[in-house]
Chain A
Amino acid sequence: MRIEGEFTFDGPREEVWELLHDPDVLARALPGTETLERVGENVYAGEMRVGVGPFTAGSYDVEVRLEEQVPPERYTMIVDGRGSLGFARGKAEVELEEEGSNRTRMRYASDLQVGGKVAGVGQRLLDSVGRGMTKQGLEALNEELRARLEGGPGSGEG
């Protein structure tokens, strides 16, 4: 499954970079994330529940490793998720570009292998679910960013 696209954040690039590296913010923003914490330098681990409408695709132990980091421009995420109903692994490349002084354009391209029962039964939906979750997550992150910027410096909890 390949998911690529662009998204514009309403804030400066350094702030976006910081947001994308804050496990508490990511846990709140990314759909289905139950827990997410930093377990090592550039390594995050947690639990995600994936579901759509009446379907639950189970819960997954997810590990995300950040590599090839060039702050605040680009990084690569190596994703490894395992659950009772299947697995997902692959990588995503993220690029951040300044768009004026107060907006940041993100380009992302991910290539994920999804397998197990979820892929067998839900193949035709994977692309839509992946895209939907990406969009929902990015919009929620943008909300976090706005709240953080409006709250002024120091009110990181948004």
Chain B
Amino acid sequence: MKPPPFEYRAPDSLGEALDLMGEHGWDAKPLAGGQSLVPAMNFRLAAPAILVDLQRIDGLAGIRETDGGLAIGAMTTQREAERSDRVAGLAPLLHEAMPFVAHPQIRNRGTVGGSVAHADPAAELPAVLLALGASFRAASRDEPGGRWIDAADFFQGLFATALSPEELLVEVAVPAPAARSGAAFDEFSRRHGDYALAGVAAVVELDEAGRCADARATLLSVADGPFVAEAVPATLAGEEPTGEALADAAAAVAAEIDPPSDIHASAEYRRHLAEVLVRRTLGRAAGRARGDVAP
């Protein structure tokens, strides 16, 4: 199938791209790796009048260390993030999750920023970056330096984000892990690379006595966007992460969520998967925080 006609622009600079977005707003769509947008256009489920290709703009890709952690350029490919030693060292949760993002061919083209801005409820990156407390820099013609948006405010439901139609996501800031913390990611799909039926990103931070100073989990594919399980900090804060405590937390998450049903999985099945995955990932995250589970 072929897309409906559209105008194609490939600016050489960010300023030019921001001008185009500022001028055309809703009618324009930024094209990053095109791994979601182009199929949607080919199915004629998306019909932007103008595509603004970001590939030729210098300085939007790359991963660098900052004072507080990592800065990942929005146009960094998912494959680069997956293979980056900096990501492995300073954002091990992201490193662990990357191989679950679609297939290698898609990760070669698909970008970190593209997945974040697309905000698919089944996508790994939004859930992981939300669990990590990442923030996102959105630039616009009026504010070329950009404004920072916390992940907690950024994701607003089904394919909805805090970005305005004139803005471009340009950078992702990921804070380095706290001391005595560990994280884990896991998901379940019928075939590797398919949309996950449920997935969990978990982070556990221990105090000196081995109790949870902080514990959190975000889920994918169980709500209309990445879902922060409030039951996790509510049941685990101040508690030792024993098998029993983790099982209680997982059961509380299963009660908290209201997952969708479709031909791939019923709501009940998703709820069951979520419970198992929350228990496993929290257990592995706690083990890594203690230092007795391999990173």
Interface residues of A (CB under 8 A from B): 2, 52-57, 85, 117-118, 121-129, 131-132
Residues of A within 8 A of B47 (CB): 56
In the complex, B83 has a CB within 8 A of chain A: no
Whether A121 lies near B45 (C-beta < 8 A) is: yes
In the complex, B66 has a CB within 8 A of chain A: no
Whether B46 lies near A132 (C-beta < 8 A) is: no
Whether B262 lies near A126 (C-beta < 8 A) is: yes
Interface size range of chain B in the complex: 20 to 34
A125–B160 CA distance with the chains assembled, in angstroms: 14
Shortest distance between the CB of B220 and any CB in chain A (Å): 12
Known contacts A128-B158, A132-B158, A57 near B45 by CB under 8 Å = yes
Whether A54 lies near B122 (C-beta < 8 A) is: no
A52–B158 CA distance with the chains assembled, in angstroms: 7
Interface residues of B (CB under 8 A from A): 29, 37, 40, 43-48, 118-119, 121-122, 157-160, 195, 223-224, 260-264
Interface residue from A54, A117, A124, A129 paired with B37 (Cβ < 8 Å): A54
**Best-surrounded residue of B40, B157, B260 (most CB of chain A within 10 A):** B260
Whether B260 lies near A131 (C-beta < 8 A) is: yes
Whether A129 lies near B40 (C-beta < 8 A) is: no
Residues of A within 8 A of B262 (CB): 123-124, 126-127
For this complex, 19 residue pairs linking A to B, each with C-beta atoms less than 8 Å apart, are: A2-B261, A53-B118, A54-B37, A54-B159, A55-B40, A56-B47, A85-B44, A85-B45, A117-B43, A121-B43, A121-B45, A123-B262, A124-B195, A124-B264, A127-B261, A127-B262, A128-B121, A128-B223, A128-B260
Leading 3 A-B pairs by shortest Cβ distance: A53-B159, A127-B260, A128-B224
Residues of A within 8 A of B159 (CB): 52-55
Residues of A within 8 A of B121 (CB): 125, 128
Residues of A within 8 A of B119 (CB): 53
**Best-surrounded residue of B29, B40, B46, B158 (most CB of chain A within 10 A):** B158
A36–B193 CA distance with the chains assembled, in angstroms: 43
Whether B118 lies near A54 (C-beta < 8 A) is: yes
Whether B158 lies near A54 (C-beta < 8 A) is: no
Known contacts A55-B45, A56-B46, A125 near B264 by CB under 8 Å = no
Return the chain A residue nearest B39 by Cβ: A121
Residues of A within 8 A of B160 (CB): 53
Residues of B within 8 A of A53 (CB): 118-119, 158-160
Shortest distance between the CB of A131 and any CB in chain B (Å): 7
Shortest distance between the CB of A126 and any CB in chain B (Å): 7
Residues of B within 8 A of A2 (CB): 261
A2–B37 CA distance with the chains assembled, in angstroms: 28
A1–B224 CA distance with the chains assembled, in angstroms: 16
With A53-B118, A53-B160, A55-B45 given, can you name 7 additional A-B contacts, CB distance below 8 Å? Answer: A53-B119, A57-B45, A118-B45, A123-B263, A124-B262, A128-B223, A128-B224
Residues of A within 8 A of B260 (CB): 124, 127-128, 131
Residues of B within 8 A of A56 (CB): 45-47
Shortest distance between the CB of B54 and any CB in chain A (Å): 15
A2–B260 CA distance with the chains assembled, in angstroms: 10
A126–B261 CA distance with the chains assembled, in angstroms: 9
Return the chain B residue nearest A130 by Cβ: B260
